[in-house]
Structure 1
Amino acid sequence: MTEALLNVSAPALAGDSAMPPERHSPMPPQSLKAFAEGFPRASVAPRGVRSLARRRVLVVGSAIALSAFAIYEMAGVFSVGGITPLEYLVLLLFAVNFCWIALAFCSGVAGFIQLLRHQQDAFAEDAVLTTRTAILMPTYNEAPDRVFAAVETMALALAERSQGHAFDWFILSDTTDPNVALAEEQAFWLLRQAVDGRARIYYRRRRKNIARKAGNVADFCRRWGASYDHLLVLDADSIMETRTMVSLAARMQADPDSGLIQTIPALINGTTLMARLQQFAARIYGPVIGTGLAWWVQKEGNFWGHNAIIRTQAFMQAAGLPHLSGKPPFGGHILSHDFVEAALIRRAGWSVQIAADLHGSYEECPPSIIDLAVRDRRWCQGNLQHSRVLPAKGLHWINRLHLLTGIMAYLSSPFWLMLILSGLLLALQAHYIRPEYFTDQFSLFPTWPVMDSDRALRLFFITMGVLFGPKIFGLLLLIKDSPTCRALGGRLRVGLSVLVEVILSALIAPIMMLIHCGAVLSILFGRDSGWSPQRRDDGSLPWAALIFRHKWHMVAGALLGYAAWLDSLTLLAWMSPALVGLWLSVPLSAFTSSWGIGAWFKRRRIMATPEEVAQPQLVTKVAERREQYQADLTEIWTIESLLRSPELMELHLAMMDKLPTHTPGGAVEPLDAIARVKVQEAVCRKSLLALLSKQELGYILGNPLLLKQMQNLPEQFVEDDLVSIC
């Protein structure tokens, strides 16, 4: 540890605490069976929370009509010779899957039409803000250089504007790793020195991360939320332009009925092929769906957990999450809190909107198939848990549709798999079971299935058009935008990018389908996902790990291929687009998670985005500041240096959460009891540190009494007969 790091003191916080004075206010859990008193509230403005019904009729009605036509056509395909039980199953599965993609297609049509009208960004850069906004950056075992570099850069940029006085910044840590926790404190000390009073930035590490991110934000609301009119919630990988922040606060201030405004973040900083695939698809095709969704849901929008502004009053009074009865995965704390919070805010009489016309909101994405699978496992559990929320009293039908859409995002994979298997069984049945028109013997399939091949082919093209429609719309809009096309390398390069994206997506889709199927089965068998920090940069894994992760995908691909081959080589050829990805899942996973391969594509502007070619100045500054944080955090504070240095200990105590660690007379938690016993029974620091687990050490770092006891212990014994203890 260098002298520079040890030469610190509590005044390094500029005479200020790590957090402002608390102002306690309740955030009661909401009942899913009854309204809270006083809700739904009456709107301030006429029709302040009313939406135009004709837009819903147009989009949802079109999706219903399109689905009805497709289902009718599919029934016609089978009805030539009478529909067998297996064909009824195929028809049912087709109906469920087609309805799911039809709504997205019709939303895409609406978005395409809106974007053709040259919708412009609607920033309120010169707004006069009289309200106060708390910008929240929750973090959980994330790289401190990423989080603190982003906060520092955004805070200083915002401080330069005339509206900077209206914003305070809060880094809300739920970190459990003691090494990361100490690195966060060191990074906060560096940040406070760099900012030098130009922006108000605070830091709090929660001692018990109850209810995960939702509990982290709720803890802030109960203790500090009453001091602020709005909460602008970010994520650990979020970056937002200052004009976007100001515009969100101005919109919230101008609309007294607005409860939540969600931006549509663009994905950035992707280097691996998997990350580039996601950010290209989100940037080129995403606005079509997002704009269409914002157009027809209107005041019944949704919340995606971050990059959104929320009215504090609406959130605290109406969005306290209930504790679901039973154990995880379906009971306990609500895992995917965002959809539910949006539904509860709307239920209470506030509007929830999607600001599709505001750009300058960014986030990052998982760098590999494996990282995407880990994230989706948690999201899958959270969305399936919403089945417990769907029947809640008073929810708007659009919010129920949002919840159902989230559920179907993961249930659609088992439905697609069952559809593929059912179709394969139909083909095998036609090949191996001899038709018997005139027999007195029992037969499982008494009639020979005859299909209308012309109608089937027509329906296939309709389904493909609906499935790929949003991609086509996004490509047409990009081709129409000549300046953007030129920046991305010209129309030929754009066409190549789309081709690469379509091919890779087609190869990865069956892998993700089986991953989602496995996640659904795991949840149905009662397995909880846990809460693991997300990898955001390097997505590479050893080949042995990839083989282990994808072994069942390769086996499934081999079995499906063999079953298709039993029927005919033609069927195998038809199914090959869905099978090649499974056969090649291991090399495909390695290929798409490689930084080197991703960098090769990046240099050639394949699947490039406008934000990559002309990187926003704020994003560039964040990256530069992160490099400096990485250099400054090369030699980080340790628990040993903390215990040896009174100055460091004083600084640590100044940053520590002031919430009491234990309520007298309250229940004693196992972690607290074990940590106390180990500290009280210890004979020296060296032996104690060898005995403590990471979880116990992380807990002790938030307990001033136990830290003082550790500090008073001798570093080690020097007596010959006790050396062995240490």
Structure 2
Amino acid sequence: MDLVRERVAGLAPAQVFPALPEDAPLAMPVQSLAHRPETRRTLPSGLIARRAFVIGGAAALTMVAAYQMYLVLSVGGLTVLEAIVLALFVILFAWIGFSFTNAMGGVFAMIGRRGTPLGIDTAAPLPELTRRTALLMPTYNESPTRVFAGLQATYESIEQTGAIEAFDFFILSDTTDADVWIAEEASFLALRERTGGHSRIFYRRRARNIDRKAGNVGEWVTRFGARYEAMLVLDADSVMTGDCVVRIAGAMERNPQVGLIQTLPVIVGGRTLFARLQQFAGRLYGPLLAQGLAWWHGSESNYWGHNAIIRTEAFASCAGLPHLKGRKPFGGHILSHDFVEAALIRRGGWAVHMVPWLAGSYEEGPPSLTDLATRDRRWCQGNLQHAAVLPSRGLHFVSRLHLLTGIGSYVTAPLWLVMLLAGLLTALQARFVPPDYFPSEYALFPSWPAQDPVRAAWVFVGTMAILLLPKLLAYGLMLFDAEARRGFGGGLRALAGVLAETLISGLAAPVMMVTQSSAVIGILAGRDGGWNPQRRDDGSVAVGQTLRHFAPHTLLGVALGLAAWAISWPLFLWMTPVILGLVLAVPLVIWTARPRRGDPLLLLTPEQGAPPPVLTRANELTAQLGGHAGVAEAVARLASDPKLLEAHRAMLPACGERVPGDYSPERLVARAKLHDAPSFDDALKLLTPKEKAAALGDAKALDRLLALSKAA
């Protein structure tokens, strides 16, 4: 029987179902990165050959490409610039070669998969659950309507499976915006009323955002984790089907050695061209790449931060993240916590698996290139922090490879830019710098830059083939799946989508190259990116803001174009994709960020053509609850809703009284300002956003605000 129900038995109705259950503490010690824990580690049979194929195959391809590039550049001997170009080419080709062999692993997995990994058989009846699982929905200044609509859709889908008794739901708010905070509380109370889930839907807001999302989840573990066998971590835009949730919860029960199971979230809900490009690419190419990862990762898979179920014991005992030494942006708490948590859980002897073939896991993507750049800036800083985690004692080599790929996903951008500039300088040198026929040191022949243009063309063709073949492989596999083919609108329509996505993504690639390079340089210079909430709806951006943000990209494109033109017309044509993408950066960003309504002629995905019921329900609830409208002013809302005000007071820690050790300056300053404020409007003008939130969390300041509001 539910422990919460046992606790509240016999109480008066007004006292039943508080915002949180009784505490069930679970110790979560901070892990040492310098000491190797005692663990058991086994490598399942077959993975050695698979890993040799993926890693060794990438190495073999890289060696062949490196030799061919050497022959291209070594005509007349290697100059310093040519040596730099060669070294960068080897590193970057290894990156795309690794992606290619991983995709080939995905082909093998999709063609030859047999059995039911982790006992998850999608054709079998749903398993009976005997253990309790908590669904955690962390949120930070997000639209409450969207968050609670998605959570209700997931709740109802689980309820339809008949397994709702095995789950509790926690909204874990780190919201700092006072108006959003009160809207969250109102949405929480309304969600309980709509679902009748008073005994299993809970809400908690932290006044201090210690360690961001990792700290948010960690605080829940140390306070409530002992009550639950597992926790299913969601994101603010996550929606999951009951079938998917119950099956991974059952797999966690049947496999006591497993610490984490990661699903493959499918991107949905795109309203802009940019978002639909991500949807299409993720839906068509994503499963192939994810199947490849699962094929050779095995029990050393990764964690993407959400839509994954985690054994609470494994997380608590292994994933307490330390603070890194030094100052921001490299020091402090670990921003990209998910990769590190997976590595530490595996280090502790628990298996980490990925199940990309299990349907029913969904998320949303950034609506514009500007929003992607903002998110990438934060991820970039977090991934570069992984350089300090790499030397940790006891990590599995595959876990270290995850960390390296996370770093490489951003470091490769400035490397591409440097190689581009070095290649351009090499061409300038060959065009305008005469060879030195009389070097200061003895030499039999003069040395000057020269290349083999025919072989260079073949190297370019081979590189592009390695880069684009995974897309064609994914498209080919889709053609042999009748259901998937119908979902993408047929083979020809899907092919047109592939061509459109490749063209637009090709134009956007140099823009992201420069943006990510700028982010890396800023982080290396010591600039912290902060923590900004994500936009998930309309991606439209102001023209002035876009010009300021992307004008440097345009200027760089013009400069590259003029330099290439000055050298030779063939070089200009060769560099046209990069030059065109940079010169068109501003119109490209604005064009792809505009909301588009109706069914797209291109870029159709199965979830758009035939939305799963859980997504349809989430969209219906979003519309019913107010769509994408903003939130009301917090104090006015509390003053006009006595029940909400009563609930708000009850949910405050210590009922709004200062607890020992709380020396928050915002609380004291808010009290002083409100004491001096002659009117409600003056009070709102005097309070900063942080002070307003602090005032709503303080009993005396709240009383003063309400009194001023009534007098207005």
CA distance in 2, matches of 1:13, 1:342: 42
Q: Which has the higher contact order (CA 8 A, sep 6+)?
A: 1
Residue 100 of structure 2 corresponds to 105
**Shift of residue 697, structure 1, vs aligned partner:** 1.1
Residue 55 of structure 2 corresponds to 60
CA distance in 1, matches of 2:89, 2:283: 30
Deviation track 1:189-215 (CA, whole Å, cap 9, x = no partner) reads: 211110124872111111111111111
Judged with a 3 Å threshold, the aligned counterparts in structure 2 of structure 1 residues 115 and 631 are, in CA distance, closer, same or farther, namely closer
**Shift of residue 581, structure 1, vs aligned partner:** 1.1
CA distance in 2, matches of 1:49, 1:207: 45
CA distance in 1, matches of 2:709, 2:275: 50
User: Conserved in 1, the CA contact under 8 Å of 2:655 and 2:699?
Assistant: no
1:343-382 to 2 correspondences below 5 Å: 343-382=343-382
User: Conserved in 1, the CA contact under 8 Å of 2:104 and 2:292?
Assistant: yes
Judged with a 3 Å threshold, the aligned counterparts in structure 2 of structure 1 residues 167 and 546 are, in CA distance, closer, same or farther, namely same
Q: Secondary structure at the match of 1:217?
A: helix
Residue 95 (1) aligns with residue 78 (2): no
1:317-396 to 2 correspondences below 5 Å: 317-396=317-396
CA distance in 2, matches of 1:632, 1:292: 38
CA distance in 2, matches of 1:631, 1:283: 26
Residue 287 of structure 1 corresponds to 287
Residue 85 of structure 1 corresponds to 80
Residue 4 of structure 1 corresponds to none
**Shift of residue 157, structure 1, vs aligned partner:** 2.0
CA distance in 2, matches of 1:616, 1:464: 36
**Shift of residue 485, structure 1, vs aligned partner:** 2.4
Counterpart residue type for residue 613 of structure 2: Q
Counterpart residue type for residue 20 of structure 2: M
Judged with a 3 Å threshold, the aligned counterparts in structure 2 of structure 1 residues 618 and 715 are, in CA distance, closer, same or farther, namely closer
Counterpart residue type for residue 653 of structure 1: R
Counterpart residue type for residue 252 of structure 1: M
CA distance in 1, matches of 2:544, 2:708: 45
TM-score by length of 2: 0.93
Choose 485-494 or 502-511, whichever is displaced more: 485-494
Residue 647 of structure 2 corresponds to 651
CA distance in 2, matches of 1:689, 1:283: 46
Deviation track 1:302-351 (CA, whole Å, cap 9, x = no partner) reads: 11000000000010111011011222110111111100100110111111
Q: Secondary structure at the match of 2:161?
A: coil
Residue 72 of structure 1 corresponds to 67
Residue 618 of structure 1 corresponds to 614
Residue 722 of structure 1 corresponds to none
Counterpart residue type for residue 94 of structure 2: C
CA distance in 1, matches of 2:386, 2:46: 24
Judged with a 3 Å threshold, the aligned counterparts in structure 2 of structure 1 residues 349 and 705 are, in CA distance, closer, same or farther, namely farther
CA distance in 1, matches of 2:550, 2:13: 50
- What is the percentage of aligned positions where both structures have the same residue? 46
**Shift of residue 276, structure 1, vs aligned partner:** 0.6
Query: Which of the residues 698, 701, 709 maps onto 1:706?
Result: 701
Counterpart residue type for residue 40 of structure 1: E
Residue 5 of structure 1 corresponds to none
Counterpart residue type for residue 18 of structure 2: S
Judged with a 3 Å threshold, the aligned counterparts in structure 2 of structure 1 residues 703 and 173 are, in CA distance, closer, same or farther, namely same
**Shift of residue 76, structure 1, vs aligned partner:** 2.1
**Which ranges in structure 2 are unaligned for 5 or more consecutive residues?**
1-10
User: Conserved in 2, the CA contact under 8 Å of 1:204 and 1:657?
Assistant: no
1:494-505 to 2 correspondences below 5 Å: 494-505=494-505
Deviation track 1:23-66 (CA, whole Å, cap 9, x = no partner) reads: 1222121111114xxx43447xxx48787322211211111111
User: Conserved in 1, the CA contact under 8 Å of 2:272 and 2:595?
Assistant: yes
Residue 480 of structure 1 corresponds to 480
Residue 17 of structure 1 corresponds to 18
Judged with a 3 Å threshold, the aligned counterparts in structure 2 of structure 1 residues 507 and 634 are, in CA distance, closer, same or farther, namely closer
Judged with a 3 Å threshold, the aligned counterparts in structure 2 of structure 1 residues 440 and 551 are, in CA distance, closer, same or farther, namely same
CA distance in 2, matches of 1:399, 1:55: 16
Residue 603 of structure 1 corresponds to 600
CA distance in 2, matches of 1:61, 1:151: 44
Residue 719 of structure 1 corresponds to none
CA distance in 2, matches of 1:583, 1:649: 54
Judged with a 3 Å threshold, the aligned counterparts in structure 2 of structure 1 residues 646 and 287 are, in CA distance, closer, same or farther, namely closer
Judged with a 3 Å threshold, the aligned counterparts in structure 2 of structure 1 residues 54 and 632 are, in CA distance, closer, same or farther, namely closer
Judged with a 3 Å threshold, the aligned counterparts in structure 2 of structure 1 residues 429 and 127 are, in CA distance, closer, same or farther, namely same
TM-score by length of 1: 0.91
Residue 459 of structure 1 corresponds to 459
**Shift of residue 695, structure 1, vs aligned partner:** 1.3
Counterpart residue type for residue 319 of structure 1: A
**Shift of residue 479, structure 1, vs aligned partner:** 2.2
CA distance in 2, matches of 1:185, 1:646: 13
CA distance in 2, matches of 1:60, 1:386: 21
CA distance in 2, matches of 1:328, 1:442: 51
Deviation track 1:664-699 (CA, whole Å, cap 9, x = no partner) reads: 2x3723323323433455566554333211211112
User: Conserved in 2, the CA contact under 8 Å of 1:547 and 1:586?
Assistant: yes
1:135-150 to 2 correspondences below 5 Å: 135-150=135-150
Residue 675 (1) aligns with residue 670 (2): yes
Q: Secondary structure at the match of 1:204?
A: strand
User: Conserved in 2, the CA contact under 8 Å of 1:133 and 1:249?
Assistant: yes
Judged with a 3 Å threshold, the aligned counterparts in structure 2 of structure 1 residues 24 and 561 are, in CA distance, closer, same or farther, namely same
User: Conserved in 2, the CA contact under 8 Å of 1:186 and 1:636?
Assistant: no
CA distance in 1, matches of 2:594, 2:640: 43
Residue 207 (1) aligns with residue 207 (2): yes
RMSD: 2.5
Counterpart residue type for residue 341 of structure 1: E
**Shift of residue 74, structure 1, vs aligned partner:** 1.4
Residue 3 of structure 1 corresponds to none
Counterpart residue type for residue 266 of structure 2: A
Counterpart residue type for residue 183 of structure 1: A
Residue 627 (1) aligns with residue 623 (2): yes
Judged with a 3 Å threshold, the aligned counterparts in structure 2 of structure 1 residues 714 and 172 are, in CA distance, closer, same or farther, namely closer
CA distance in 1, matches of 2:495, 2:258: 41
User: Conserved in 2, the CA contact under 8 Å of 1:156 and 1:198?
Assistant: no
User: Conserved in 1, the CA contact under 8 Å of 2:17 and 2:199?
Assistant: no
Deviation track 1:164-217 (CA, whole Å, cap 9, x = no partner) reads: 211111111111111111111111121111012487211111111111111111
CA distance in 2, matches of 1:646, 1:691: 26
Query: Which of the residues 691, 695, 700 maps onto 1:696?
Result: 691
**Shift of residue 541, structure 1, vs aligned partner:** 1.3
Deviation track 1:43-101 (CA, whole Å, cap 9, x = no partner) reads: 7xxx4878732221121111111111211221222233221111110111001101111
Residue 122 of structure 1 corresponds to 121
User: Conserved in 1, the CA contact under 8 Å of 2:263 and 2:361?
Assistant: yes
User: Conserved in 2, the CA contact under 8 Å of 1:299 and 1:352?
Assistant: yes
User: Conserved in 2, the CA contact under 8 Å of 1:436 and 1:446?
Assistant: yes
Judged with a 3 Å threshold, the aligned counterparts in structure 2 of structure 1 residues 213 and 439 are, in CA distance, closer, same or farther, namely closer
Choose 632-641 or 125-134, whichever is displaced more: 632-641
**Shift of residue 461, structure 1, vs aligned partner:** 1.7
> How many pairs align?
696
Judged with a 3 Å threshold, the aligned counterparts in structure 2 of structure 1 residues 208 and 110 are, in CA distance, closer, same or farther, namely same
**Shift of residue 439, structure 1, vs aligned partner:** 5.2
Choose 189-198 or 162-171, whichever is displaced more: 189-198
**Which ranges in structure 1 are unaligned for 5 or more consecutive residues?**
1-9, 717-725
User: Conserved in 2, the CA contact under 8 Å of 1:125 and 1:243?
Assistant: no
Q: Secondary structure at the match of 1:172?
A: strand
User: Conserved in 1, the CA contact under 8 Å of 2:656 and 2:697?
Assistant: no
**Shift of residue 430, structure 1, vs aligned partner:** 1.1
CA distance in 2, matches of 1:312, 1:563: 58
Q: Secondary structure at the match of 2:330?
A: coil
**Shift of residue 397, structure 1, vs aligned partner:** 1.0
CA distance in 2, matches of 1:442, 1:11: 99
User: Conserved in 2, the CA contact under 8 Å of 1:138 and 1:174?
Assistant: yes
